[in-house]
Amino acid sequence: MTISLNQAGKRFNYDWIFRRISFTFRDSGRYAILGPNGSGKSTLLQVISGHLHHNEGTVTYSIAEKPIENDAFFRYCAIAAPYLELIEEFTLAEIIQFHVQFKTLLPDITEKEIAGMVGLEKSMDKQLRYFSSGMKQRIKLALAIFSDVPVLLLDEPCTNLDVAGVQLYQHLIEQYCGQRMLIVSSNDEQEYYMCPERIQIVDYK
């Protein structure tokens, strides 16, 4: 999988969030998008994911040099972000079952094992509205990381996690990221320490 940005820019009304980003994300690469709060890290990640449309330049996707239509990229990526909401009327079992209707799981990973791996196996029949913010974040990460897709997009992945939750996140990345492309938007090194390639969003203002 390759994601290529060529002179890409995004604005809201007349304010440019970033401009003229040219960068190529490649198979199995690990990338961090860095910058202070409010600098546009999340906006860039959403443009990469296709959730937001860019206002200038191009964003293209390909596998083995074969192009992928922009509106089909969602099939090849999984994203976890604080602004993506869970359906709180669902139980944990139901949200996992709902998710796998759209994304297959990594080989040899079952729906029940997902809950166990994030320490929530006793909450399978509990509605998500009764989960703490940290429990919800664990589920968001699990649903993304255990999806069988070539690209993982993580926006501030340790939001609402305690020390044990951060350690869990790092373990899941080390064990299950494999050779997939990983792009992390963050200003916290414990979230992106595994990413040798880094983009400073303030360089594109």
What's the pLDDT tens digit per position in 61-117?
A: 999 889 999 999 999 999 999 999 999 999 999 999 999 999 999 998 998 899 999
| Higher local confidence (pLDDT), 205 or 137 | 137
- Angle at 141 (CA atoms; ends 140, 146), nearest 5 degrees: 110
Contact (CB, 8 A) for 61 and 68 = yes
Environment class of 76 (CB within 10 Å of its CB; exposed 0-12, middle 13-18, buried 19+): middle
Determine what percent of the chain is predicted with pLDDT higher than 90: 95
Mean pLDDT of all residues in the chain?
96
Where exactly are the structural domains of the chain? 2-204
What is the value of pTM for the model shown?
A: 0.96
Tell whether domain 2-204 is in CATH 1.10.10.970: no
